[in-house]
Amino acid sequence: MKKLAVVALLTIIIVGTAFAARPIDYRGIFPADRESDARITNYILLKKDTRIRFEIEEQGHGTTDRVKVEKVQLTSAPDISFSDSAGIRVLDVTESGIYEVTLVPTAVSGEIRFVLRVVEIAREAPVEPPVPVATVTDSVPVANTTDISQAVIADTLPAVSTAAIAVPVAVEQMTATAAQVADKPEIASFVPSTVDATSSVTLKAPAEGYFINPFAGFKFVGEGLNLLSDSERRKLIKVLNRLADGSMAEVAGSFFSPEPDVLMFLPTAVLPGAIYYVEVYDNAGSRCAEYRVAAMPEVAIEFKRNLNDVLAGVSWQPQPTLMPNPAGQMLALHNCDIAVFSGTELLVKLSGEQVAQPFGSLGQINWRARPHSLDIEMPAALIASECVVEVMAALDGSDTKNVAYRASWQKTDDQVDFSDVEASDDLIYDKPKEEFSIQAFTAREQLAETAAFQIEKSFSLVDNEADKMVAWPQDVVWDENGSLWVLDSQLRRIANYNAAGMLRTSFGERGDTPGSLGLPVALAQKNSSLFVSDTSRHAVHKFTTEGLFVVSILSEPGSGINIDLPGGVCFRKDEMWVADRGNARILCFNQQGGFLGSFGSTAAAPIEAPVSVRADADSLFILERSGLVKKFSPMGQFDATFQSGSNEGSGLDVDRWGGVWVCDAGKFKVVRFSKKGAALTELVAPPAAKPWLPTAVAVRSDGKVAVTDAANKMLHIFTLVE
């Protein structure tokens, strides 16, 4: 949760018995581009037996309700706190100490410049107009319309030296009487009491049969839940996982209340495929309800062709920290449907009950389930040209099951006769050098956030119909000389083009021998070398820009190198960074393949399924499959994050002017964001035979943008609208 500022210590000092209503002012700003959970926190030193009024004015508008004091909490005793969704106006202080005062905007848009005045008011004088009074208490307050509550709080407070605390605002003084509080029926008050919400607490979401929404977590409903302190919430509700040794461990996360009688729990990280146990307790500590829900596993779909059959393998990684049985994690795809298509024709749709069975058959299609995998076998004759497999699931909040994962396989002609083709080991096909030229360009120093882009040129990346059936352009990078390198993951081909679409050279071969490619998914270029991430070979291959194989970087347990499913690869100076989705880590190598180190997930900054990584001079940007973009230092220190909204994000680039580009193949768009996550511009889909499917984006230093289009097997180049 972002705090816009933690800057001021406002001090009230009680001297003698005279009263003076001198205000303490704090001036703050909620910017127009603030986040939805924006808040400003200040600290106030308060003396017990005083009454404080919070007055908020908006610059140029007078008294405002566009900002409110949401919470006041004693820093030395977090249980002594009060929060009010309507805003706290008056506070009776019964314990001396430093209090944290949290302000939030009530307006959803627009900049708010405000002044907070903290005024001590006399207890014996009536307060006009009547306003709610909040009492700082160590119990949970509930509404009462007749009494002003007084909390039982310790009488002593360690001396606080304001000189030892850096305060960038002036410290004011205020004097007041020490008179006792008189009951005032016209003032609404809050009486501390113990809230017994357990009799009606229920888990509202996720609903039965739905997976956890990682952005929403768990939702509980029950009378008075929003009034409980954090410690009481954690005694009342526990969320647990069953660990590999059989023990139960509480899930790290945070509680918050978005509205009355509603309590949310958001795990720090939702583990794919994990089983979550939710237990509800009463005030006596007895368990009175238990729920069990699951997180959707992160599925991979691969195709294999046998002589007469096509095998579609649906699999997901086990969670090594959890018990390896259905009590700890998902072994079968419960609550998931699987649909198999030949082109657009539905061949079969398997229900969640069917795919959870060990084996089955429907028509000519057979399936067999094993822990963490499901194999679907079908005759190749059923596939006209393309086989598509979709895994459908319902996240909490969805009305129906939607496509969570999708993969396709292109059928090729197996009867092509190559007997007349001259055998050759040379996979490099050069065109005459005089035909290939690169237009000179100049790097741009500045680019406005409001810059717009328009299509300049589109060209095909395949030469024949057979390749069009198979091709899948997966990544693109600009060469340092201004040309383009395009990686096709299905053709296993790396090709070099100029911006006009002229091919200079291409190379690549499918296989598992040195220099061949398994399933290449990402590409980087540095000096005269190319680096290719290969997920099925669990390696990063190095080639020269002329196509000569140099070396493969592989796992070496003895040296601490563990490469599982390498994805995006980039360079920061002379360091090569690789996003490893299988290990949920970011790996670092030198240009020779020497391992320099890595960093992974922490409680403060979880890394889940990173598919790409890009760097600028100071930072690393990681795109996760969930669409989250996370910013780290090269030492692995978490800095910031934002949600790109992508549901099938793969392409990522960071331009030299601070723009973060994300390709969203699932939503058919390419968006440029600011580093704070504000959407700056979206590329307009270029004219093509099919709706485009952008898989990768690369930005040149002069502002040209290249986008691979897997649906049309094309490369599109955009330029700035000057």
User: What is the CATH classification number for the domain harbouring 9?
Assistant: 2.60.120.380
Average pLDDT of span 259-277: 89
Looking at 144, 161, 192, the residue that finishes a domain is 192
Lowest mean pLDDT among 174-183, 218-227, 335-344, 580-589: 174-183
What is the reported pLDDT for 335? 87
pLDDT bin (cut points 50, 70, 90) of residue 411 is confident
Of residues 78, 83, 119, 121, the one with CA closest to residue 98: 78
Decide if pLDDT at 152 tops 90: no
Contacts of 306 (CB under 8 A, 6+ apart): none
What is the reported pLDDT for 306? 80
Coil, helix or strand at residue 163: helix
Decide if pLDDT at 521 tops 60: yes
Average pLDDT of span 407-422: 61
Looking at 260, 294, 328, the residue that finishes a domain is 294
Residue 612 lies in a domain: no
C-beta contacts of 630-637 below 8 A and 24+ residues apart = 630/605, 631/675, 632/586, 632/599, 632/605, 634/572, 634/575, 634/588, 635/599, 636/586, 636/599, 636/600
Amino acid identity, position 188: A
392 and 406 within one domain? yes
Tokens of 718: 């955009």
pLDDT bin (cut points 50, 70, 90) of residue 134 is low
Of residues 375, 380, 379, the one with CA closest to residue 338: 375
Residue 608 lies in a domain: no
Of residues 481, 538, 530, 376, the one with CA closest to residue 700: 481
Q: Output 178 or 430, whichever has higher pLDDT.
A: 430
Decide if pLDDT at 185 tops 80: no
pLDDT bin (cut points 50, 70, 90) of residue 36 is confident
Residue 362's CATH number: 2.60.40
Residue 114 lies in a domain: yes
Tokens of 364: 């000519």
227 and 148 within one domain? no
- The mean of the pLDDT values for the chain is 80
- CA distances 568 to 158, 550, 612, Å, are 54, 20, 4
381 and 239 within one domain? no
Amino acid identity, position 298: E
Decide if pLDDT at 212 tops 80: yes
What is residue 297's DSSP assignment?
Answer: P
What is the reported pLDDT for 507? 94
303 and 251 within one domain? no
Query: Can you list the alpha helix ranges (DSSP code H) found in 294-413?
Result: 352-355
Return the top range by mean pLDDT from 54-63, 134-143, 415-424, 575-584.
Answer: 575-584
pLDDT bin (cut points 50, 70, 90) of residue 119 is confident
Decide if pLDDT at 145 tops 60: no
Return the top range by mean pLDDT from 15-19, 190-194, 563-567.
Answer: 563-567
Looking at 363, 395, 410, the residue that finishes a domain is 410
Average pLDDT of span 655-669: 90
What is the reported pLDDT for 695? 93
36 and 144 within one domain? yes
153 and 32 within one domain? yes
Residue with tokens 């930072």: 619
212 and 65 within one domain? no
Q: Output 194 or 685, whichever has higher pLDDT.
A: 685
The full 3-state SS of 242-281, as one line of letters, equals EECCCCEEECCEEEECCCCCEEEEEECCCCCCEEEEEEEE
What is the reported pLDDT for 312? 93
38 and 177 within one domain? yes
11 and 96 within one domain? yes
What is the reported pLDDT for 58? 80
Task: Give residue 209's Cα distance to chain centre.
Answer: 24
Decide if pLDDT at 336 tops 60: yes
The share of the chain scoring above pLDDT 90, in percent, equals: 37
Residue 694 lies in a domain: no
pLDDT bin (cut points 50, 70, 90) of residue 672 is very high
Decide if pLDDT at 11 tops 50: no
What is the reported pLDDT for 25? 61
Average pLDDT of span 678-690: 90
137 and 11 within one domain? yes
pLDDT bin (cut points 50, 70, 90) of residue 136 is very low
CA distance 96 to 501: 73
115 and 42 within one domain? yes
What is the reported pLDDT for 458? 94
Query: Can you list the alpha helix ranges (DSSP code H) found in 430-535?
Result: 465-470
Residue 113 lies in a domain: yes
pLDDT bin (cut points 50, 70, 90) of residue 413 is low
Tokens of 367: 């399936």
What is the reported pLDDT for 664? 85
Decide if pLDDT at 694 tops 60: yes
Contact 278, 238 (CB under 8 A): yes
For residue 266, what are the domain limits? 198-294
What is the reported pLDDT for 238? 94
What is the reported pLDDT for 1? 37
Decide if pLDDT at 686 tops 70: yes
What is the reported pLDDT for 194? 39
342 and 273 within one domain? no
Residue 697 lies in a domain: no
For the chain, the domain total comes to 3
603-615 pLDDT per residue, tens? 777 888 899 999 9
What is the reported pLDDT for 516? 93
Residue 284 lies in a domain: yes
Task: Give residue 42's Cα distance to chain centre.
Answer: 29
What is the reported pLDDT for 50? 85
Average pLDDT of span 635-648: 84
63-79 pLDDT per residue, tens? 888 999 999 888 777 77
Residue 102 lies in a domain: yes
